[in-house]
Structures are given as structure tokens and as C-alpha cells.
Amino acid sequence: MAQKKNPSVDVTEAVADANADAVAVETVTEVAYEKAQLVASAKYAAKRDLITALLEDGKKYTFSQVDRMVSDFYGSDFTENKERKGD
């Protein structure tokens, strides 16, 4: 005769498998650069003035942070300028 599976054993195995996946996560750190290094970099040569205006002296930034700041700047709505023109 066939026996029924014990449901508590199946649940425990599923939890153990989920915990095993969580342990396998790998962390990656990015290198942070000073404002002067980013302004002088070839990557941001076309946006040098914007980078100079957005970044603060004495702080370090990763490429991801700078890319996000540039994206936010270009993606923002310039409603202040629209109101001045009376549109």
C-alpha cells in the first residue's frame, strides 16, 4: 500500500532550501571616487559642467550614484521655468 507523505516534512525541506539560497548571495562593492577624479574622467567628459555642479567637494561617489544623479537631473520636470514664462 502507498503511504501518505507527512506534510510537515515537506514544509521543513522547503524552508531549508529557501535558507540555502539566501546564504549564497554575494555582495559586490563599488569603488568611490572624489569629485575632482570624476570631473576629470573620460566617462563624464561631455557632462563635466553638470558633474561639477551636482557633486559636493570632499565627498566620494560611485559611478552608480553619479549616473543616478545625472539621470534624476535630466528626468526632472522644470516646472519652475515654465511658471516664469507664464505657460
Domain span at residue 79? Answer: 33-85
Does some domain include residue 40?
Answer: yes
Distance of alpha carbon 21 from alpha carbon 73, whole angstroms:
37
What is the number of domains present in the chain? 1
Q: What average pLDDT does range 3-19 have in this prediction? A: 50
Higher pLDDT, 1 or 79: 79
Q: What average pLDDT does range 77-86 have in this prediction? A: 58
Environment class of 38 (CB within 10 Å of its CB; exposed 0-12, middle 13-18, buried 19+): buried
What would the pLDDT profile of 49-79 be if each residue is shown by its tens digit? 999 999 999 999 999 999 999 999 988 766 6
| Nearest-5° Cα angle at 55, 83 to 51 | 75
Higher pLDDT, 13 or 44: 44
Does some domain include residue 7?
Answer: no
Closest CA to 32 of 77, 78, 64: 64
Determine if the pTM surpasses 0.85: no
Distance of alpha carbon 8 from alpha carbon 70, whole angstroms:
52
